[in-house]
Structure 1
Amino acid sequence: MDLSIIIVNYNTRRLTLDCLHSVYASVTGYTYEVRLIDNNSSDDSVSSIRNEFPQVDLIANQENVGFSRANNQGIRLAQGQYILLLNSDTIVEPDTFQIMLDYMNGHPEVGAAGCKVVLPDGSLDKACKRGFPTPSASFYYAFGFSKLFPDRPRFNQYQLGYLNPDEEYEIDCLVGAFMMVRRKTIEEVGMLDEEFFMYGEDVDWCYRIKEAGWKIYYYPRTKIIHYKGASSRRKPYKIIYEFHRAMILFHRKHYKRNYSFLTNAAVYIGVAVKFGLALLKNKALPVKKSLNQTDVGA
């Protein structure tokens, strides 16, 4: 088996079915399997997927175990030489797998790669090519310096806005919505850290992959569409909490020992302030009827 595609579903029946349709419409000479993990959806996702795509290897969890743990369930059973994390709210192009696998096979030094990810309006999903969220990178991003000086590398360490999105680069971090990882790399660095429930697991994985000496590449010769949830709807408290908890967890795991007490304190205070502001902003938004694709951790 060349490729194992891992998809996590949580109450995204229609999006997931559309994603699977695009996957099975792929034109490729490579062999692939699809392993889908459902995190105890309350809609009819499981029955619908089984009826329309009986060839999918489906695991139906009895509880929502989170994005990292669910992906790890699929990775443990995967038979492919490459593992692809693919969000349920994405649409792949017919040649996406062929192009990405050709690239990975031709570059054995690359441990993980991602393609160009665009939003439904055609704009770039900026999370698909990122730097690591160091204290300085996070500061410039959080306080808007990256928007004020979009062409200055110093102020765009996180979203790398100064790089042409149509050219390939070695980068620090991909997005979990589409992340192709070499099996040999996973065997060396391990799977996703399950301490990250639904955010930050992709950044942490990329950090460990690069720490082990592998390269990570952004390769925009093909693209996918990423249907992110509308930001104009109120999110459940847990979503906001987990997003900010992931920031603290990542900093403690990878950066705390490299910085002074004052810098670490500033980071924690900054995250706390950002968390409080996010709660206030969220409270003013209309109530969201149900959790959507962004609520599984991508």
Structure 2
Amino acid sequence: MDLSIVIVNYNTKKLTIDCIQSVLNSKLNFQYEIFVVDNASSDGSVEKIKKIFPHVYVISNKENAGFSKANNQAIKECNGRYVLLLNSDTIVNKDTLDEMIRFMDGEMNVGAVGCEVNLPDGTLDKACHRGFPTPEASFYYMIGLAKKFPNSPKYNSYHKSYMNMSEVHDIDCLVGAFMMVRREAFEQVGLLDEEFFMYGEDIDWCYRIKEFGWRIVYNPTVSITHYKGASSRRKPFKIVYEFHRAMYLFHKKHFATKYNFFVNSLVYMGIISKLTFATINNFLKRVR
């Protein structure tokens, strides 16, 4: 088995079906398998997917286990030389998977690779091309210096858009919407950290993969379309909370010991303040 594709579904029946169909429509000259892990959807996803795609392996959870745990459930069962994390709200272009496998076969020191991820309007989903969220990078991003100086390696180290976005190059982290990982890499590094419910797990995985000496590569020669946030619209406060909790978890896990008490305090205060503002803003939107 060359490729194991893992799709986590949570009340995105139509999108998941379209995503699977886009994979089946791909020009793939390799052996592959598809796993769908359903996180207790209430829209009849499991029954419909099993009926339309009887060859797809479906794991049905009785509760929402989160993105990390759900992916891990399938990864433990898969057989591929490579594992692809693929969001349910994505459409894969016909040549994307084939080209990415060929790329990985030719670059044996690459632990994970991502492609160009485009939003429906054709613009780039910036999450597919990121630097690690150090306190400095996050600060410059939050106060707007990254946007004001997009070509500055110092101020725009969060998204690193000063790099040549049309050429293949190494990057710090990819997005979990499309991340192809070499089996040898995740067997050495370990699976996704299940402390992260549905944000930050991709950054954490990339960080650990790089720590073990593997390369993380952005390959814009192929692309997918990402209908972003489809499953996250249903519980807005839960999503807002988990997004900010992931910031805290990642900093505490990887950066807290590298900075002094003052810097760490500022980081945690910033996360709390941002969470508070986002919660209030979200509440006011719902009231309106």
TM-score (norm 1): 0.94
**Mapping for residues 276-287 of structure 1, pairs under 5 Å:** 276-286=276-286
Aligned equivalents of 2:149 and 2:139: distance in 1? 14
**1:228-267, aligned counterparts within 5 Å?**
228-229=228-229, 236-267=236-267
Query: C-alpha displacement at 1:28, in angstroms?
Result: 1.4
- Which SS does the other structure have where 2:141 is aligned? helix
Q: Is the 8 A contact 1:8 1:67 kept in 2?
A: yes
Matched position secondary structure for 1:114: strand
Match of 2:179 in 1: 179
Shift of 1:236: 2.3
Question: What letter matches 1:258 in structure 2?
Answer: K
Shift of 1:151: 1.3
Matched, 1:166 2:166: yes
| CA-atom RMSD in angstroms | 1.2
Match of 1:109 in 2: 109
Q: What are the within-5 Å matches in structure 2 for residues 185-224 of structure 1?
A: 185-224=185-224
- What is the match of residue 17 of structure 1? 17
Partner of 1:274: 274
Q: 1:154 aligns to what SS in structure 2? A: coil
Residue by residue over 1:205-253, the C-alpha shift from the partner in whole angstroms, topping out at 9 and shown as x without a partner, is 00000000000000011000000138xx785211111110000000010
Counterpart for residue 50 of structure 1: 50
* 8 Å Cα contact 1:172/1:216 also seen in 2: yes
| Structure 2 unmatched ranges of 5 or more | none
**TM score, norm. by length of structure 2:** 0.97
SS of equivalent to 2:140: helix
Distance 1:83 1:73 in 2: 12
Whole-Å separation in 2 of the counterparts to 1:204 and 1:234: 25
Aligned residues: 285
Structure 1 residue aligned with 2:92:
92
Which amino acid in structure 1 is aligned with residue 124 of structure 2?
A: L
- How far is 1:161 from its partner? 1.8
Q: Identity, % of aligned pairs? A: 59
Aligned partner of 2:153 in structure 1 is 153
Cα distance in structure 2, aligned partners of 1:97 and 1:236: 32
**Aligned residue in 2 for 1:61:** 61
Match of 2:38 in 1: 38
- Return 5+ residue gaps in structure 1 as ranges: 288-298
SS at match of 1:155: coil
Q: Cα offset for 1:165?
A: 2.1
Cα pair 1:134 1:255 within 8 Å, conserved: yes
Q: Give the Cα–Cα distance (whole angstroms) in 1 for the partners of residues 170 and 82 of structure 2.
A: 19
Q: What is the one-letter code of the residue matched to 2:105?
A: N
CA distance 1:197–1:229, shift in 2 (3 Å)? closer
Please give the secondary structure, in 2, of the residue aligned with 1:63.
coil
Q: CA deviation at 1:138?
A: 0.6
Report what 1:293 is aligned to. Answer: none
Question: Does the 8 Å contact 1:235/1:282 carry over to 2?
Answer: no
The Cα of 1:286 is off from its aligned counterpart by 4.0
SS in 2 for 1:38: strand
Residue identity in the other structure for 1:44:
G
